[in-house]
Amino acid sequence: MEKRLLTTTILAAATLLATTPALAHVGDGTIHHHGSGFMSGLLHPIFGLDHLIAMVAVGLWAAQMGGRMIWALPVAFAATMIIGGILALGGVPFPFVEPGIAASMMVVGLLIAFAVRLPLMAGCVVTGLFAFFHGHAHGAEMAAGSGALLYFTGFALTTLFLHAAGIGMGMFLRNLPGLATPRRSLVYRTSGALVTVAGVVTLVALL
């Protein structure tokens, strides 16, 4: 049972990593906007694999730390992401958005791999900082004619769903019968390491 879980985790993460160069968010604004403003917002974080990985990873890290972090990190991420999106929509420039998104995967992956536990406020600041990059990218790529309110609502809901998916993964690991603590830690370390490597690959692809 434990061996099968570890193998499945590694293979799934490796598959995501292998597809990162092909599906990473590239900032061209051409593949993320289909259908209504709401639907476009819903799909935007999913079509950018860098967004998807980072947001699931934030949820996994929140579950790993437990306590108030489980709700505080997703709320901090979503709120700051919306602020970043509004500023982008208003034409406010922000440097290094794409490298910042890649860095979010690298840093959060390391936090998971090393089981880093930060105080509540520090954890919210870290996730909020990276969320700003994600939000700015979302806002900058909103398709012409999309309703801003519907678009923002869409990508906020998808973001919270991806956080919930990461939290669900963490809770599953925590409550899985028969999974010893060392094996659980190995799954976290492997997942965190692969998220970090995905961030490195994304960053290199931007060069």
Q: 């490597």: which residue's tokens?
A: 197
Say if 29 falls within a structural domain: no
Give the structural domain span for 90.
Answer: 42-206
- pTM, whole model, 2 decimals? 0.84
The predicted structure's pLDDT at residue 138: 94
The predicted structure's pLDDT at residue 28: 40
* Count of domains for the chain: 1
Q: Provide block-wise average pLDDT over 10 residues at a time, the chain (207 residues).
A: 47 44 42 66 90 96 96 97 96 94 97 96 97 96 86 95 96 80 88 96 93
Q: Kind and range of the H or E element at 24?
A: none
Q: How far apart are alpha carbons 29 and 133 in whole angstroms?
A: 15
Backbone angles phi, psi at 142, to 5 degrees: -65, 130
Say if 15 falls within a structural domain: no
Q: 């919210």: which residue's tokens?
A: 124
Say if 88 falls within a structural domain: yes
Say if 135 falls within a structural domain: yes
3-state SS, 67-116, equals CCHHHHHHHHHHHHHHHHHHHHHCCCCCCCHHHHHHHHHHHHHHHHHCCC
The predicted structure's pLDDT at residue 173: 87
Say if 17 falls within a structural domain: no
The predicted structure's pLDDT at residue 35: 54
Say if 70 falls within a structural domain: yes
Say if 115 falls within a structural domain: yes
The predicted structure's pLDDT at residue 189: 94
Say if 76 falls within a structural domain: yes
